[in-house]
């Protein structure tokens, strides 16, 4: 066989072999270490983790469960000290507690669960000699955010009737964030965090309310029974409480006392993440996915310009950037005849799944573009507004993220087992070309004139994922014998050279552990997927951060396989031995002659 061409700068590592190991696997000459784990004390006076004797008070001072998104901002210039933010998306009580009874959790178990949700801000130090990253228990910026933390509701829907409750007659103040999945790091130095699967936390959903149903809110008890300790989770008692969840939350990590802000201007849906590009005149554009089968891709265009610098005036101004602007939803139109899109993944005659698209406005701060819906309706019941304008039904859009080097936007459509099924909401289309799409695909979107605020775009599919032996897959046209198998793309990141990185959440759909892949975008190897790291048994790989000197991966729900329990753990990562599995953030570094070296070069 001909020698393989050298991958581009940033992706020059020996790919990891797909595996089912209970470990993080990294390339030759790379190493990993745990930055922070579930239960690690985040304050000098916080208790040490004790799996057998957990309390809600301790959990509220310790790193939470199921870290998903991970973002960093440098504190002391590049290289040594960072502030890191992690989402704590959800809890897995059957793995957290011995003998957990899902029909009758104890009040303390429920309160521990509430305290394990939300997010965490910690200071992280990089040891310049070893290259390891560790969190600092004494960091002045350290902070826990839970399901009870006071937050602000702002933007066009703030104060609306549908956001008011007994505890908050103003409709402008809410406790807690839940289901926070992915997120983003803004150019003005804050973190964004997406409330995703909030529906399952509410009891007594109304039987006949189409708006509640469109968000999946159901009758009966909630999954975790939070309503038994706090009636605000019971919609029979607080009918509007669920309308106060499902937003993008902005967190200022530089002020641990600041109130996180839920931005209604970015719409309400099952937000995966939120990532920012700037227009040439400095206005933020935020790209977002609604992770549900047959849901939509959105963007928000601010009507204000970012101010540079970190003066108090600049920070106060930038805190309002996501409070007013216009929210759009995407339609994708293929350029090949519909008859050539067969649902098998077979390419149409022009050889590409590609076409054009439109961003359709839903509402701005002062104007609704949707018949029969007010401005507040659009921002609170965004899914129904997008239904009305005929948005394109996608295969679970997760991360939607612009490449800072090129401005091209990458959309991870993770999978959609229902595409094309009898009675399903949609069959195949050129942007979602595979029926029963088990392994997902990645779309590349180019805004007209490379303007993030444009209302039209071009698009093509970069990857149709799966095992390269599977004829329905496509790797940018690259030689499939040279790629790593990949399934269920979830999170997206970019390295400093502009390469794409994709992490996966597959429930072992290819009978391999999830991982993080470098993906070539430019040149003859475009579409080459290169497995860089795999994560332990039962876990998904989230929150990648790829820098010149290290990579962070968020290892979510290690040991989460059928029938696992504390009596029968399926993983012992990261502590080893007989230990219970603990979700954690891990750092990966490159070593040459024992000294830290650049990633991928």
CB of 503 vs Ca ion, minimal distance in Å: 9
Among 40, 93, 230, 291, binds ligand FEO (CB under 6 A): 291
Q: Does 181 bind ligand FEO (CB under 6 A)?
A: yes
Select 428 or 440, whichever has its Cβ closest to ligand FEO: 440
Please list the helix, strand and coil fractions of the chain in percent, rounded to the nearest 5, in that order. 10, 35, 55
Q: Does 272 bind ligand FEO (CB under 6 A)?
A: yes
Q: Does 505 bind Ca ion (CB under 5 A)?
A: yes
Select 168 or 272, whichever has its Cβ closest to ligand FEO: 272
Residues 6 or more apart in contact with residue 110 via CB below 8 angstroms: 224, 225, 226, 228, 229
**Integer CA distances (angstroms), 269 to 198, 245, 378, in order:** 9, 9, 11
Find which of Ca ion, ligand FEO, none residue 196 binds, CB within 5 to 8 Å per kind.
ligand FEO
Phi, psi of 161 (to 5 degrees): -50, -45
Q: Does 116 bind ligand FEO (CB under 6 A)?
A: no
CB of 181 vs ligand FEO, minimal distance in Å: 3
Q: Does 295 bind ligand FEO (CB under 6 A)?
A: no
Closest residue by Cα to residue 465 from 413, 398, 429 = 413
HEC profile for 475-493? ECCCCHHHCCCECCEEEEE
Phi, psi of 223 (to 5 degrees): -60, -40
CB of 241 vs Ca ion, minimal distance in Å: 24
Among 336, 364, 368, 392, binds Ca ion (CB under 5 A): 336
Any idea what the Cα angle at residue 542 is, between residues 598 and 421, rounded to 5°? 135
CB of 514 vs ligand FEO, minimal distance in Å: 12
CB of 545 vs ligand FEO, minimal distance in Å: 17
Closest residue by Cα to residue 590 from 134, 5, 11, 6 = 11
In whole angstroms, what is the distance from residue 307 CA to residue 5 CA? 44
Distance of alpha carbon 13 from the chain centroid: 26
Find which of ligand FEO, Ca ion, none residue 89 binds, CB within 5 to 8 Å per kind.
ligand FEO
CA-CA-CA-CA torsion sign (214, 215, 217, 223): positive
CB of 327 vs ligand FEO, minimal distance in Å: 20
Class of residue 222 by CB neighbours under 10 A (exposed 0-12, middle 13-18, buried 19+): buried
Q: Does 333 bind Ca ion (CB under 5 A)?
A: no
In whole angstroms, what is the distance from residue 556 CA to residue 194 CA? 16
CB of 96 vs Ca ion, minimal distance in Å: 18
Find which of ligand FEO, Ca ion, none residue 336 binds, CB within 5 to 8 Å per kind.
Ca ion
Find which of ligand FEO, Ca ion, none residue 238 binds, CB within 5 to 8 Å per kind.
none
Q: Does 560 bind Ca ion (CB under 5 A)?
A: no
Closest residue by Cα to residue 517 from 496, 539, 493 = 493
In whole angstroms, what is the distance from residue 587 CA to residue 555 CA? 11
Tell me which stretch binds Ca ion (CB under 5 A): 24-32, 177-185, 520-528, 571-579.
177-185
Select 39 or 489, whichever has its Cβ closest to ligand FEO: 489
Closest residue by Cα to residue 521 from 415, 425, 437, 446 = 446
The rounded radius of gyration (Å) of the Cα atoms in the chain is 23
Q: Does 292 bind ligand FEO (CB under 6 A)?
A: no
Select 291 or 560, whichever has its Cβ closest to ligand FEO: 291
Closest residue by Cα to residue 122 from 188, 65, 42 = 42
Is the bond preceding residue 528 a cis peptide, omega within 30 degrees? no
SS3 at position 260: coil
Q: Does 89 bind ligand FEO (CB under 6 A)?
A: yes
Q: Does 350 bind Ca ion (CB under 5 A)?
A: yes
In whole angstroms, what is the distance from residue 233 CA to residue 226 CA? 6
Distance of alpha carbon 598 from the chain centroid: 26
Residues 473-492 close enough to bind Ca ion by CB under 5 A: 490
Q: Does 447 bind ligand FEO (CB under 6 A)?
A: no
Q: Does 196 bind ligand FEO (CB under 6 A)?
A: yes
Closest residue by Cα to residue 486 from 16, 30, 32 = 16
Q: Does 335 bind Ca ion (CB under 5 A)?
A: yes
Total residues binding ligand FEO (CB under 6 A):
6
Select 218 or 556, whichever has its Cβ closest to ligand FEO: 556
Select 142 or 415, whichever has its Cβ closest to Ca ion: 415
Q: Does 252 bind ligand FEO (CB under 6 A)?
A: no
In whole angstroms, what is the distance from residue 581 CA to residue 560 CA? 9
CB of 118 vs Ca ion, minimal distance in Å: 16
Closest residue by Cα to residue 280 from 397, 447, 429 = 447
In whole angstroms, what is the distance from residue 120 CA to residue 62 CA? 9
Bridge partner list, 31: 589
Find which of ligand FEO, Ca ion, none residue 326 binds, CB within 5 to 8 Å per kind.
none
Q: Does 354 bind Ca ion (CB under 5 A)?
A: yes
Q: Does 356 bind Ca ion (CB under 5 A)?
A: no
Tokens of 382: 């965004």
CB of 542 vs Ca ion, minimal distance in Å: 6
Residues 356-415 close enough to bind ligand FEO by CB under 6 A: 398
CB of 523 vs ligand FEO, minimal distance in Å: 31
Helix (H) or strand (E) holding 379: helix 375-380
Among 352, 388, 405, 598, binds Ca ion (CB under 5 A): 352
Find which of Ca ion, ligand FEO, none residue 352 binds, CB within 5 to 8 Å per kind.
Ca ion
CB of 72 vs ligand FEO, minimal distance in Å: 20
In whole angstroms, what is the distance from residue 290 CA to residue 397 CA? 6
Q: Does 555 bind ligand FEO (CB under 6 A)?
A: no
Total residues binding Ca ion (CB under 5 A):
10
Find which of Ca ion, ligand FEO, none residue 250 binds, CB within 5 to 8 Å per kind.
none
Binding stretches for ligand FEO (CB under 6 A): 89, 181, 196, 272, 291, 398
Interface with Ca ion (CB under 5 A): 181, 335-336, 348, 350, 352, 354, 398, 490, 505
């Amino acid at each position: 066989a001909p020698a393989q061409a050298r991958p581009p700068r940033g992706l020059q590592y020996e790919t990891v072999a797909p595996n089912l190991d209970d470990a993080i696997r990294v390339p030759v000459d790379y190493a990993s270490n745990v930055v922070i784990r579930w239960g690690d004390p985040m304050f000098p006076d916080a208790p040490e983790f004790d799996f057998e004797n957990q309390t809600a008070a301790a959990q509220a001072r310790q790193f939470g469960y199921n870290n998903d998104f991970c973002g960093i901002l440098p504190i002391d210039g590049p290289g040594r000290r960072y502030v890191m933010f992690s989402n704590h998306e959800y809890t897995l009580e059957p793995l957290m507690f011995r003998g957990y009874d899902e029909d009758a959790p104890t009040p303390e178990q429920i309160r521990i669960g509430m305290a394990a949700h939300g997010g965490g801000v910690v200071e992280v130090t990089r040891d310049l000699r070893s290259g390891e990253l560790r969190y600092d228990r004494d960091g002045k910026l350290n902070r826990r955010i839970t399901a009870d933390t006071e937050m602000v509701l702002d933007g066009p829907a703030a104060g609306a009737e549908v956001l008011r409750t007994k505890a908050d007659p103003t409709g402008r103040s809410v406790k807690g964030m839940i289901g926070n999945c992915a997120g983003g790091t803004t150019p003005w130095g804050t973190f964004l965090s997406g409330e995703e699967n909030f529906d399952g936390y509410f009891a007594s959903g109304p039987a006949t309310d189409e708006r509640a149903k469109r968000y999946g809110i159901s009758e009966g008890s909630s999954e975790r029974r939070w309503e038994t300790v706090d009636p605000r989770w019971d919609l029979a008692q607080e009918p509007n409480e669920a309308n106060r969840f499902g937003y993008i939350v902005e967190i200022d990590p530089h002020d641990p006392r600041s109130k996180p802000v839920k931005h209604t201007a970015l719409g309400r849906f099952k937000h995966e993440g939120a990532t920012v590009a700037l227009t040439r005149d400095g206005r933020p554009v935020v790209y977002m996915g609604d992770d549900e089968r047959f849901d939509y891709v959105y963007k928000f265009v601010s009507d204000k310009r970012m101010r540079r610098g970190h003066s108090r005036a600049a920070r106060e101004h930038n805190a309002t950037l996501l409070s007013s602007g216009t929210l759009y939803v995407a339609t994708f139109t293929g350029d090949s005849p519909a008859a050539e899109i067969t649902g098998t993944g077979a390419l149409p005659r022009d050889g590409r799944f590609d076409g054009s698209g439109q961003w359709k406005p839903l509402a701005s701060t002062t104007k609704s573009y949707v018949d029969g819906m007010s401005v507040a309706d659009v921002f609170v019941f965004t899914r129904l507004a997008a239904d009305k304008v005929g948005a394109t039904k996608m295969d679970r859009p997760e991360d939607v993220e612009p490449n800072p080097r090129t401005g091209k936007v990458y959309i991870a459509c993770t999978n959609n087992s229902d595409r094309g099924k009898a009675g399903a909401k949609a069959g195949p289309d050129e942007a979602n070309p595979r029926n029963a799409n088990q392994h997902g695909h990645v779309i590349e979107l180019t805004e007209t004139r490379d303007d993030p605020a444009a209302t039209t775009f071009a698009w093509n599919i970069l990857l149709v994922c799966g095992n390269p032996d599977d004829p329905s897959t496509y790797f940018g046209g690259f030689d499939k014998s040279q790629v790593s198998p990949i399934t269920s793309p979830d999170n997206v990141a970019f390295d400093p050279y502009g390469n794409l990185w994709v992490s996966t959440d597959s429930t072992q759909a290819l009978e391999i552990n999830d991982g993080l892949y470098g993906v070539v975008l430019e040149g003859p190897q475009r579409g080459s997927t290169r497995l860089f790291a795999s994560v332990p048994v039962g876990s998904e790989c989230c929150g990648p951060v790829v820098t010149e000197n290290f990579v962070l991966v968020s290892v979510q729900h290690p040991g989460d396989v059928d029938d696992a329990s504390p009596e029968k753990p399926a993983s012992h990562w990261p502590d080893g031995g007989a230990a219970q599995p603990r979700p954690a953030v891990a750092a990966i570094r490159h070593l040459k002659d024992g000294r830290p070296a650049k990633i991928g070069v």
